[in-house]
Amino acid sequence: MDVEKQIEFLRAELREHNHRYYVSDSPIISDYEFDQKLKQLQELEAKHPQYHDPNSPTLRVGGSITKNFETVTHDYRMYSLSNSYSDEELNDWLERIQKLVDGPIEFTCELKYDGASINLTYENGALLRAVTRGDGYQGDDVTANVKTIRTVPLKLKGDFPQRFDIRGEIILPFDGFAKMNEERIKEGEDPYRNPRNTASGSLKLQDSSEVAQRPLECLAYSLKSNSQPVATQFESLELIREWGFKVPQAAILAKGLNEVKEFIAYWDKKRHDLPYETDGVVIKVNSFYQQEELGYTAKAPRWAIAYKFKAEQTKTILKEVTYQVGRTGAITPVANLEPVDLAGTIVKRASLHNADQIEKLDLRIGDTVFVEKGGEIIPKITGVDLEQRNVNSVPIEYLQRCPECGTQLVRNEGEAQHYCLNAEGCPPQIIGRIQHYISRKAMDIEGLGGETVALLVRNGLIKNYADLYDLTMDQVIPLERMAEKSAQNLIDGIIKSKNIPFDRVLFALGIRHVGETVAKKLAKHYNTIDNLAQVSQEDLVEVDEIGSIIAQSVKKFFNSVENKKTIERLKGYGVQLEIDANKLENQTNKLEGRSFVVSGVFSKVSRNDLKKLIEDNGGKVSGSISKKTGFVVAGDNMGPSKKAKADNLGVPIISEDEFLLMIS
């Protein structure tokens, strides 16, 4: 056998043994024999570098150093999941989705493992890259570290698409976590707090050989591809298991909600027997066709929901209440607690939300309070142990003046929160607005983080986001922890932000109640910042989905003399404050005022492209048929109940060709 064939044979053999040991739990050779074969391959590869393979089993040991993790945009957005905590909420979810799809609905139930989400991209059966979830749109490339995880296949078996993504959870089993802490204690170091945070932190270690020493695992749960090889979620789990991924066996196919609830009840009791952390059950509509029919909200798929197990609870002492000031001037009270261990993390603080919450709980300094993690993530106070209350304690009086600038706080009628109205002089508001402006979903200024913004403000270099465009290298370099290269990256990032499109700039301005979705609607409707600034409150309310509160907030922003000055400055710096003319050429108002429901499978354009065509031509896409629906665009396999509802309400049903003719 020649050297190349010998190397390929050893690689294939080691991949198979690796899969048997780490994924199938059915090894057929000893650890010693495996190590000897690996050593033999390492020696051959060292002597013959011309046969290098970036996915060789020898690279599982790590060794590469990553100083900066590159930001990568996901091919398919990684959405969050909506949460439920009761049978009633599950019933409500089922009722909602039954209105949007036809026929019986089956569900795939999977355990929700508590780790770090990862997106694995494969091309021609080999691992191309591994990217963290990030903000759902883009994340960090951690490929070198993920290659060291034995349950991530570097080469696949079987028949698979040319390119696809696998979603999974990087977890740290309890046994491995315990051994890691034993070693740390022996070496005189503090133990790690919990498996989840340790797994997440491992992905961003600079030295991949250090990651290789950690017993991380990857549990796969989703296949994303332009050409799905199967029709259901449950089939996809079985398929990717055949390709070589570790897919938990606990998943089931449930015929209805009763079977879903039985699965939840079983694992709520048995979850403590599992080798990994889990905090709930994920329920997904099984049919990919029905998933496509249901679509997504701005944040989550409508076809999936996470049922969270009841949160763990403990008791501790309330030491004091402090107050934080947000970028809009909103005041948030924070409970400072005697440190306590809760679900594997030390809890010292909990949000109290507003004055009403403090009054409702009747909180007093020195109280023994019940603390739990809402959804096992954010600590919250749920009650007071009145038996342990000091008889001389007095109710907490809510703060009257801003803790940062001393301005008298205001609480508007109908609102829960108090506000500091000193927008131009209150440091946290100034810093918060600029931090929002530079954030990833807004101007996405590379090289500029929240801490640097605070540093720039404290040093008197900037007072609002327009000041960023006046910054020079000479001003920035003397700052703490700022080298010449990082200063240059900051200045370059600011210059690059001038190309960010108008809708994101509008979101970045930080107008109260104007989030990403509203900013897109306003930008598309008015095209320029000047048009938006001049429109009346009455006209704003006429825009689809813009209510009186948003309209009021927009007018208040543009009536401010300071905001007008800032916008004029942004114009002068070349920031995009109108929609690009090229984009406008592809948009019309032909469908303005009309609402469309899209149902079925289409041959000339995809469902998503069809929805985009509706929106680009001024129409609105709705998920369900009502009296307000203008047209149903029907493709093949349109559901019979949707057709019946459209007929009953007299809503016209048009074909794909008729729709395309409508906008041509």
Same domain, 282 and 351: no
Distance of alpha carbon 542 from alpha carbon 554, whole angstroms: 14
The model carries a pTM of 0.69
- Catalytic residue numbers read 112
More confident residue, 107 or 45: 107
Angle, CA 440 vertex, CA 435 and CA 443 arms, to 5°: 70
Residues 191 and 294 in one domain: yes
Q: Once rounded to an integer, what is the mean pLDDT over residues 272-297?
A: 91
Number of domains in the chain: 6
For residues 120 and 254, membership in a common domain is answered with yes
Counting residues of the chain whose pLDDT is more than 70, the rounded percentage is: 95
91 domain-assigned: no
Shared domain for 105 and 242, answered yes or no, is: yes
Are 318 and 282 in the same domain? no
Distances (CA, A) of 265 to 5, 108, 373: 53, 15, 20
Q: Quote the tokens at residue 225.
A: 């591809």
Final residue of a structural domain among 538, 559, 585 = 585
Same domain membership, residue 279 and residue 170: yes
Residue 94: inside a domain, yes or no?
Answer: no
User: Are residues 388 and 288 part of one domain?
Assistant: no
Q: Which two tokens stand for residue 423?
A: 């927008």
Chain-centre distance for alpha carbon 585: 33
User: How much is the average pLDDT of 545-564?
Assistant: 91
Q: What is the DSSP letter of 57?
A: G
What's the domain range around 146? Answer: 73-86+100-258+273-301
What does the block give as tokens for 39? 């050593």
177 and 288, same domain (yes or no) = yes
Asked, for residue 653, whether it belongs to a domain, the answer is yes
Please list the helix, strand and coil fractions of the chain in percent, rounded to the nearest 5, in that order: 40, 20, 40
- Domain edge (last residue) among 450, 474, 499: 499
Amino acid symbol at 408 = Q
Per residue in 108-119, pLDDT (tens digit) is: 999 999 899 999
638 vs 188, more confident: 638
Token pair in block for residue 88: 């009633």
> Does 469 share its domain with 385?
no
Whether the pLDDT of residue 66 is over 60: the answer is yes
Answer whether residue 377 shows pLDDT above 60.
no
| Average of per-residue pLDDT across 609-622 | 84
What is the per-residue burial (b if ≥16 Cβ within 10 Å, else e) of 580-590?
eeeeeeeeeee
> What b/e string do you get for 1-40 counting C-beta neighbours within 10 Å, with b at 16 or more?
eeeeeebeebbeebbebbbebbbeeeeeeeeeebeebbee
